[in-house]
Amino acid sequence: MAGAADGRTRRGRGARLMQPALRALAPPAHAFVWTPEALAGIYREDLNLCVWRRGLDTPLAHWLSDVAATRELDVIARVRGDAPDLRRRLDGLPQGPPFEAWLTDVHFLLHLYADLFGAAELGVRLHILASDMCPRFHVDRVGVRLLCTYAGPATEWLENAHVARGALGASGDVTRPGAPVHALERFDVALLKGESWPGNQGNGAVHRSPAIASSGRRRLFLSIEAL
C-alpha cells in the first residue's frame, strides 16, 4: 500500500509539473471564420478575438483608397440597433454607386453587430486618419468592439501567450521576447472582447493602431460597440 501511495504522490507531483506545459498547449484565444454567422464564436469562453476574413478585392477597394487619400472624415454617432442610418453624416463624400455599395456594407455590419449582441443602441466611429490613433498595445474597457479597416493598414494584435499583461498601461514592453505582431487585413471584420465582457477581466484582446504618421499613409476604419 505504501508503494501505491508513493506512486500516487509521484503522479500527483508530475501532474502539477505538467500544468504549465498543458497551459502552453491550450487552444489559441483567437479564431478566423469565413461566414458572418460564424462570428457567433466570440461567445466561446476561450476566445477573445474572432475575425471574419472576407478577403474582398473589388473596384470598391480602389474607390475607398481614393476617398481615404483625398477626403476628411470624422464621424462619432449614436444610432439605433434596429434601424441604423448614417447617410446624412456621410453626405460630404463623393456620391454614386461606389458610395452606395460602401454605405450598404457599413449598415450591414451595424445590423450584424446589433443582431449578434441584441444591442438597442450602437456607438459608431468612422474616421479617416493620417496620424497614429492608439499606437500602444492596450485592451478596451468595453464588452465587444467591432473593427473593420476599409483603406490603409489595419489593426495590429498579439496572441494571448505573447502578452506580458503586467506591462499593459505602463511604460514597459507588453510583448514577450520574440513575440510576433499580427495584423488584420483590409476588410476583415474583427470582434475584440474587452475587459467588460462578463468573465473576461484581465483577458481583453490586446491590440493597437498601425503606425502610419511617418509613412504618410492614411486609413479609413469603422468601429462599433454597444451603448
- The predicted-structure confidence for 74-121, as pLDDT tens digits, reads as follows 999 999 999 999 999 999 999 999 999 999 999 999 999 999 999 999
Q: What whole-number distance in Å separates Cα of residue 21 and Cα of residue 9?
A: 19
The answer to whether residue 48 sits within a structural domain is yes
Contact in structure between 217 and 68 (CB atoms under 8 Å):
no
The answer to whether residue 12 sits within a structural domain is no
- Tally of CB atoms within 10 A around 89: 16
The answer to whether residue 13 sits within a structural domain is no
219 DSSP β-pair partners: 129
Residue 2 C-beta-side C-alpha neighbours within 13 Å: 0
The answer to whether residue 7 sits within a structural domain is no
The answer to whether residue 173 sits within a structural domain is yes
Which of the 8 DSSP states describes residue 42? G
Stretch (H or E) spanning 191: strand 189-193
Tell me the mean pLDDT in the region 37-62.
Answer: 93
Tell me the mean pLDDT in the region 20-31.
Answer: 57
**What range does the domain containing 121 cover?**
28-226
Position 162 scores a pLDDT of 86
The total domain count for the chain is: 1
Position 173 scores a pLDDT of 80
Position 39 scores a pLDDT of 98
Tell me the CATH number at 172: 2.60.120
Percent of the chain with pLDDT over 70: 86
Residues in the chain: 227
Which among 99, 135, 109 has a CA at the least distance from the CA of 187?
A: 109
The answer to whether residue 15 sits within a structural domain is no
Predicted structure pTM score: 0.86
Q: How confident is the model at residue 132 (pLDDT cuts 50, 70, 90)?
A: confident
Q: What whole-number distance in Å separates Cα of residue 181 and Cα of residue 5?
A: 48
Mean per-residue pLDDT over the chain, rounded: 87
Which residue is listed with cell 455590419?
109
Residue 31 C-beta-side C-alpha neighbours within 13 Å: 18
Tell me the mean pLDDT in the region 167-172.
Answer: 68
> Which range has the worst mean pLDDT, 17-21, 87-91, 213-217?
17-21
Given 3-state DSSP classes, what are the helix, strand and coil percentages for the chain, each rounded to the nearest 5?
A: 35, 25, 45
The answer to whether residue 182 sits within a structural domain is yes
Contact in structure between 113 and 52 (CB atoms under 8 Å):
no
Tell me the mean pLDDT in the region 21-41.
Answer: 77
Q: What whole-number distance in Å separates Cα of residue 138 and Cα of residue 211?
A: 15
Q: Three cell numbers at 114?
A: 446589433
The answer to whether residue 63 sits within a structural domain is yes
